[in-house]
Structure 1
Amino acid sequence: MLDVIKVIILGIVEGITEWLPVSSTGHLILVGDILKPDLSDAFMEMFNVVIQLGAIMAVVVLYFHKLNPFSPRKTQKQKMLTWQMWIKVLIASVPAGIVGVLFNDYLDAVFYKPLPVAVMLIVYGVLFIVVENRNKHQRPKVTKISELSVQMLLWIGVFQMLALIPGTSRSGATIVGALMIGISRSTAAEFTFFLAIPAMFGASLLKLVNFGLSFTAKEAGMLALGCLVSFGLSVVAIKFLMGYIKQHDFKIFGYYRIALGAIIIIVSLVQLIIA
């Protein structure tokens, strides 16, 4: 029963932090170290990635009409624009896809630790504040996904690639990259949601294959529970973020990231001293 509660908490953390630009991986590492469910380290490493499937299904459900190029409620032009949007998503997915397939295990082995996570939290927290201050008196150049050029897509794709380092935050990195080149906050956030679909499905599939697709009944149940909770909280988080950024900038998330990174560093140093 205790492990069920722990998995529910991890699902809540994933669902909230996957879409807010604060690093879901960073939070799962921190919370996972505290909770320590009675499951193998290999399973928990896979679990922390695969419960993203619940989060990504929230995007599919909330934006199904916008994502569906076959919708009978769309005109021919709207269907064509939907296909163009998917092509843009695929173009922006190329950098992270290549690096993820080639170096995923290496990046996890080197960076999936508290200190690198803390550093990346702080670095991108500072970037959010700097970029928002720079953009304060500038009008965005792009306010629609249809206006994104190939050059912009590849730039965003490079930032998504950098998010393969734990603690960076996939949504945080891509939003920062988009803001830097003059894309509006709402367009940056929405495109980030869509960009997550192939990225997170691909990462989850890779983790499942590496794990071996062999689960005990307990592991399968825990994974399904984590995905379900993650889905529910993701719906709430996405709606909150899109409403929030209509009236506010992203600086609050920058301050939060810096504070969280500092806490992780302090906790890590205390653990070293005690050990």
Structure 2
Amino acid sequence: MVEHSLLDIIIMGVVEGLTEFLPVSSTGHLILAGELIGFKSDTGATFEIAIQSGAILAVLVAYWRRFTDVLVGLFARDAGAIAFVRNVLLAFLPAAVIGFLLIDAFEAMLSSPITVAIALIVGGVVILLIERSVRVPRYTSVEAMPWRASLGVGFVQCVAMIPGVSRSGATIMGGLLLGLDRKTAAEFSFFLAVPTIAGATVLLLWKHRHDLDTSQMGAIGIGFLVSFLVALVVIKGFVVLVSRYGFGPFAWYRIIAGSAALVWLLAR
């Protein structure tokens, strides 16, 4: 395994925790950050996927009461809890099937930083267009979403398998187009991340199980912890920010960052 400094590992963990739930593409930023600091993983995307689990733990901690209420509600056959679980699982289904079938094709794209830069720019423009076209929301909670809207968000999420698109950005924008308000769209993206990234982590770790050894566990553990702590801070602040200012600032950031990255990559 290529040895990396503690600072490099911490930088990658911070990048993951900071960008996982923002509509700016955590995978894209990890790829570009890796290019910038020379961080290369022997097992492709395994390190990046593994430390994403830290961000998922942050969702479970930040919304522990919500998840506990849902679990209790399921045992009590509460209609709201059942609708919550149904919507999350329906939205997860398309990515589970398509990701399993096309994992090699999508993993191959992880080695293309230029794809990331272009996707950042295009995604920023798309967010600006959607922000201007969104009408009065029809659904203000995950439980109120009809199954068709949940499944629709799930298919939109599949677009984010292209590095640089952003899983959170795709699901949030899809949610807005399908009638969710900003807060609900953001939180649904958080909840959907739990089975989606957990599934991707298990699938990739299993695929690369023969490449893993105990020497990698320390780096993965540090990256996991850093991403968890940073994501925990980001989650609540993000909901407040988008409820007040919308997604425009993130769109402009994508366009500027993607343009700068593209110029840098082409000029090297």
TM-score where L is the length of structure 1: 0.90
| Letter of the structure 1 residue corresponding to residue 121 of structure 2 | I
**Offset of residue 45 of structure 1:** 2.0
**Offset of residue 213 of structure 1:** 5.8
Q: How does 1:181-220 map to 2 (within 5 A)?
A: 181-212=178-209, 215-220=212-217
**Offset of residue 159 of structure 1:** 0.9
Secondary structure at the aligned position of 2:243 is classed as coil
- Residue 154 of structure 2 corresponds to 157
- Residue 41 of structure 1 corresponds to 42
- Residue 109 of structure 1 corresponds to 108
**Offset of residue 59 of structure 1:** 0.4
**Offset of residue 83 of structure 1:** 3.0
**Contact kept in structure 1, 2:81 and 2:143, CA below 8 Å:** no
- Residue 26 of structure 1 corresponds to 28
**Offset of residue 181 of structure 1:** 2.1
- Residue 92 of structure 1 corresponds to 91
**Contact kept in structure 1, 2:124 and 2:252, CA below 8 Å:** yes
* 2-structure distance, mates of 1:256, 1:188: 20
- Residue 255 of structure 2 corresponds to 258
| Letter of the structure 1 residue corresponding to residue 115 of structure 2 | P
**Contact kept in structure 2, 1:18 and 1:171, CA below 8 Å:** yes
- Residues 178, 33 of structure 1: alpha-carbon distance in 2 compared, 3 angstrom cutoff: same
**Offset of residue 246 of structure 1:** 2.3
* 2-structure distance, mates of 1:141, 1:40: 44
Count of aligned positions: 265
Which of 234, 238, 252 is matched with 1:237 structurally? 234
**Contact kept in structure 1, 2:87 and 2:151, CA below 8 Å:** no
Secondary structure at the aligned position of 2:143 is classed as helix
**Contact kept in structure 2, 1:65 and 1:71, CA below 8 Å:** no
User: Is 1:247 matched up with 2:244?
Assistant: yes
| Letter of the structure 2 residue corresponding to residue 163 of structure 1 | A
- Residues 206, 75 of structure 1: alpha-carbon distance in 2 compared, 3 angstrom cutoff: closer
| Letter of the structure 1 residue corresponding to residue 18 of structure 2 | I
* 2-structure distance, mates of 1:148, 1:40: 40
* 1-structure distance, mates of 2:215, 2:247: 39
Which of 15, 28, 32 is matched with 1:13 structurally? 15
Q: Which stretch of structure 1 is more off in the superposition, 80-89 or 26-35?
A: 80-89
**Offset of residue 40 of structure 1:** 4.2
Please give the per-residue CA displacement for 1:174-207, whole angstroms capped at 9, x wherever unaligned: 0111111221000000000000111000100111
* 1-structure distance, mates of 2:108, 2:212: 23
- Residue 54 of structure 2 corresponds to 54
Secondary structure at the aligned position of 2:81 is classed as helix
User: Is 1:144 matched up with 2:144?
Assistant: no
User: Is 1:269 matched up with 2:266?
Assistant: yes
**Contact kept in structure 2, 1:66 and 1:82, CA below 8 Å:** no
**Offset of residue 14 of structure 1:** 0.1
**Offset of residue 75 of structure 1:** 9.9
Q: For structure 2, list consecutive stretches of 5 or more residues without a partner in the other structure.
A: none
* 2-structure distance, mates of 1:57, 1:70: 17
**Contact kept in structure 2, 1:59 and 1:193, CA below 8 Å:** yes
Q: Which stretch of structure 1 is more off in the superposition, 259-268 or 198-207?
A: 259-268
Q: For structure 1, list consecutive stretches of 5 or more residues without a partner in the other structure.
A: none
User: Is 1:131 matched up with 2:133?
Assistant: no
| Letter of the structure 2 residue corresponding to residue 100 of structure 1 | G
| Letter of the structure 1 residue corresponding to residue 30 of structure 2 | L
* 2-structure distance, mates of 1:201, 1:179: 24
**Contact kept in structure 1, 2:31 and 2:110, CA below 8 Å:** no
- Residue 6 of structure 2 corresponds to 4
* 1-structure distance, mates of 2:262, 2:42: 22
* 1-structure distance, mates of 2:109, 2:163: 10
